[in-house]
Structure 1
Amino acid sequence: MKRCLSCDTLYPVSDMACPACRWQPALENGLPTYAPALSAESPGFKASHFAELAAVETGNFWFEARNRLIIWALRHYARDFGSFLEVGCGTGYVLTALAAAFPQARVAGSEIFSAGLSFAANRLPGAGFMQMDARDIPFSGEYGAIGMFDVLEHIVEDETVLSQAHASLRPGGHLLLTVPQHQWLWSATDEYACHVRRYAAADLHAKVRAAGFSIVRSTSFVAMLLPLMMLSRFSRRGVDAEVAGAELSVAPWLNRLLSAAMVAEARMIRTGVDFPVGGSRFLIARKL
């Protein structure tokens, strides 16, 4: 069901306007816009980053490894999810891979910036895209799974976002999260990415449970590459944030080596290994 952002009335997703108060989202480039005041500029991210991401995502060891992990987790833990909303879908890189892996699923993507949605809609024309604020999601009990992939760390009110995701899932639905991990890894790269925080596992687990979820699986990833990541991050401390932003642009030969390490790590995760430390944390939770 949709949830009216004006009066909280629930109504069918197929209806554009609220039947009680007639409120409806504006349309921008043909897409529903639920938080128009934030569509061009919002704290927590820079709209200029979308073009940079689109240029490096395809073929990059980290983005490809994350996609493989997400697809595996959905197949293993949420096989019958049926419908999926990616909150903060960026350029649509993840959602495009999910649509290909699960052609029978209904997929949708949201982004606070309209600039990101133009990239996503070009990549995946058939998905349901919308502009919205993750702190005020206009759905109730609608989706079988919701994903937020390196999104939560950009938002000060992360507990509000988790509660909104909980309300938007149907009973028994699954939440999938990836977040950067370990505050001691904080560097200019985080500042460039507009991160608010890096998470400790215990803190993330507490917030997810407080929002009404049970944790199904939680593990670090980018664990085998953590020494290299530490070297990269610590050597960049004190450098300009714009320079630090080039971290994901790697030489092809190095990208192949790093990709092989991530493939090996993924095999271990699939066999049940939970890494205690790593550059990122991957979590799957179920709505109680």
Structure 2
Amino acid sequence: MARSTGAGLPRWLAKSPRMSHAELEPGYTRESSGLFVRNGLSEPPGGFDARTIRVLANMQERHFWYRGRTKLLLDVVSRLLDTHFKGRSVEVIDFGAGAGGFIRSLTRELPGRFSTLAIADASRAAIEEVHTLGLLPDGVTRFQVDLLDLGFDSRWDLVFALDVLEHVPDDDSAFCQIAAALRPGGLFVMTAPALNSLWTSNDQMAGHFRRYARKDLARRASTAHLELLDARYFMFILAPALWLSRKLARAPKSDVEIRAHLERTHRVPPAPLNSALAWLFELETPLGRRLEFPWGTSVLGVFRKP
């Protein structure tokens, strides 16, 4: 895949928002590649490596689970841009962005709504692989960060952490760091696995420390001095089948087996099955505007900084 130079790219890529390379980010050093690195950062173990990023990049826009989650998020964000931000252009960062799939979706589906788009991750290998593969729209800024020491002070209008915080041991501190990064009136949108009653060996293999109930989001909001605007479960229709398939699966024992299992979970199902599952999952977005699902395998939270 060609690098994202802007030449010969689809219009939604070529016209993406830009951040001036002369702009300084306090607490960060800008490297020659354009990557902003948190000063004094000590990269934690784990995180996505280059191989995993390639797997994710190959399947994110096709896999039914990502398609369903993205449809929900785009619906939520579109409404927030119109009602909360009143149509003005906003500065956005996606923490734990992985292969950058959600930022690509924002750029493609909501063009011209963002003055700045940025991705951030703790893994340098992940960020560099995303850049090397040319996966980012032109002008997207890259940060290597520590969620427990972000160093941003009222910097962003809209922050995302999508299926990230369940991987953080001290998520209270991460919530507080994200709150500090928001401008007054700014919004934080998160998704995470829902309900500890749905815990399986798959959570342990994926490096999860917890699953969240809606009441957990309310408590985190209070700790970080944020206002919880919305907390809803999703992945409701397919939840029984997904939970049962994971519950009945034999738990891998060796590191090799665990790696193979995680790679299998990121494979796109056969086309007819994948399309049917995507249709069912995407159906939740219009239904969710009228109904409150009592539970689901995932939860979405929207927080506001006063």
> TM-score with structure 2 length normalisation?
0.81
Q: Which residue of 1 aligns with 2:204?
A: 191
Q: Which amino acid aligns with 1:284?
A: V
1:190 offset after TM fit, Å?
Answer: 1.8
AA of the residue aligned to 2:234 = F
Question: How big is the shift at 1:97?
Answer: 0.8
Which of 45, 53, 57 in structure 2 is aligned with 1:54? 57
Deviation at 1:88, TM superposition (A): 0.9
Aligned mates of 1:196, 1:43 — CA distance in 2: 15
Matching residue of 2:124: 114
- Inter-CA distance 235–102: structure 2 relative to 1 (3 Å threshold): same
Instruction: Kindly provide the amino acid, as one letter, of the partner of residue 27 in structure 1.
Output: E
CA RMSD, aligned part only?
2.3
Q: Which stretch shifts more, 148-157 or 103-112? A: 103-112
> Cα deviation per residue 1:21-40 (whole Å; 9 max; x = unaligned)?
xx75262743111166544x
Other-structure match for 1:69: 72
Which residues in structure 2 correspond to 1:1-288 (within 5 Å)?
15-16=23-24, 24-25=28-29, 27=31, 29-34=33-38, 37-39=41-43, 42-43=44-45, 45-47=47-49, 48-79=51-82, 80=85, 82-104=90-112, 105=114, 106-121=116-131, 122-124=134-136, 125-240=138-253, 241-245=258-262, 246-249=264-267, 250-271=269-290, 273-288=291-306
Sort the Cα spacing of 1:237 and 1:36 in 2 relative to 1 into closer, same or farther, 3 A: farther
Equivalences, count: 270
Question: C-alpha displacement at 1:46, in angstroms?
Answer: 4.2
Q: Could you tell me how far 1:257 is from its partner in structure 2?
A: 1.0
Structure 2 stretches of 5 or more lacking a match? 1-20
CA displacement 1:109-136 (0-9 Å, x = unmatched): 1111112213433212320111111111
Distance 1:236 1:260 in 2: 25
Q: Post-superposition shift, 1:215? A: 1.3
4+ residue segments displaced more than 6 Å: none
Higher RCO (CA < 8 A, seq sep 6+): 2
Cα displacement string for residues 214-248 of structure 1 (whole angstroms, at most 9, x for unaligned residues): 11111111110011112111111533433532224
Aligned-pair identity in percent equals 25
Label 1:140 to 1:83 Cα distance change in 2 as closer, same or farther (>3 A).
Answer: same
Q: Partner of 2:212: helix, strand, or coil? A: coil
Q: Relative to structure 2, which stretch is displaced further, 50-59 or 86-95? A: 50-59
Deviation at 1:203, TM superposition (A): 1.7
TM-score for both structures, normalised by structure 1:
0.85
Cα 1:17–1:143 change in 2 (3 A) is closer
Alignment partners' CA distance in 2, 1:94 and 1:100: 10
Compare 144-153 and 238-247 and name the one that shifted more: 238-247
How has the CA–CA distance of structure 1 residues 24 and 287 changed in structure 2, closer, same or farther, with 3 Å as cutoff? closer
Segments of 5+ residues of structure 1 without an aligned counterpart are: 1-12
Q: 1:31 to 1:278 in 2, by over 3 A?
A: same
